[in-house]
Amino acid sequence: MSRTYVVTGAASGIGKTTTQILRAAGNTVIGVDLAGVEVSGDLSHREGRLTAAAEATRLANGTVDAVIACAGLSIPKPVTAAVNYFGMTEFLEAMQPALTTSPAPRVALISSMASLQPVAPPLVEALLQDDEQAALAIAEQLAGDPQTGNLIYSSSKQAVSRWVRREAPKALWAGAGIPLNAVGPGTVITPMTQELLASEDGRKLVDSVVPMPLNSHQAPESIANLLIWLTSVENTHCCGQTIYCDGGADVVLRGDDIWSWNEAGIRDTFARIQGAH
């Protein structure tokens, strides 16, 4: 059954590939990007996000079955925080009313395995507080130092994954029957990474921070197909997840035990249960 999708970042990279696959399957796709697609919109500021969402909703005649948010930047500048976080969260919130008119609404975002790498906690917190002015001021400070500029990207992606976990079970999303999830890619071969991967030194640098034992660097199709499944009718119960489709980078970096951090909390819970009887 044909569905109507809105895809941000549709002019290049993962967004473009996702759009192509969806259209080949007979779906209607309304692309959002700076230029070259159905909706020309600048997601780096609030007015651009709201205007783009309104135009996408208009082109969809008020009903959108799924939104896939792919728009993003990786440059060590404040605009990366603006696009990667607010360009997703604020845009999606503006699209939510159009999603509620679909019989099977779905949302998926692009996060990154960089969400597991070092971040700047003050920037993450400012983003999660939806304080764009404060977040951009912190990002400006980080951008002024070559040692901290790259933290803008990882911080924005961690904030996205945390936003998804925080918001997915709420009335606006799960309560409205809208699964909200993210995908965390590893190193994807796109125009964003092409120059870095062109040299042996660049590849070694990338592989040192994003180890991918399964099939190495990935084509955008690997992410696009997962985004499409997450926004399909078949996905009824994934809620608030960041699924790391990264060739094994997550498991290499975090190991086999990501649960022991909560052992104290589990013990306290059982103690309270036993004390109640």
* Structure-token pair, residue 213: 């034992």
209, containing H or E segment: helix 200-209
Question: Quick one: tokens of 163?
Answer: 């936003």
**Helix-then-strand count for the chain, H and E:** 12, 7
Report the run of H or E that residue 24 belongs to, with start and end: helix 13-24
Task: Report the alpha-carbon distance of residue 111 to residue 162 in Å, rounded.
Answer: 10
Which contiguous run of DSSP H or E holds residue 180?
strand 180-185
Radius of gyration of the chain (CA): 19
Indicate the burial class of 26 (C-beta count within 10 angstroms; 0-12, 13-18, 19 or more). exposed
Sign of the four-CA dihedral 43, 47, 48, 52: positive
- Tell me the C-alpha distance between 148 and 102, whole Å: 43
The DSSP secondary-structure symbol of 84 reads: I
The catalytic position among 5, 85, 153, 244 is: 153
Sequence-ordered list of residues with C-beta below 8 angstroms from that of 191, at least 6 positions apart, any chain: 12, 13
Active site residue 85: no
HSE-CB of 174 using CA atoms within 13 angstroms: 13
Any idea which residues carry the catalytic annotation? 153
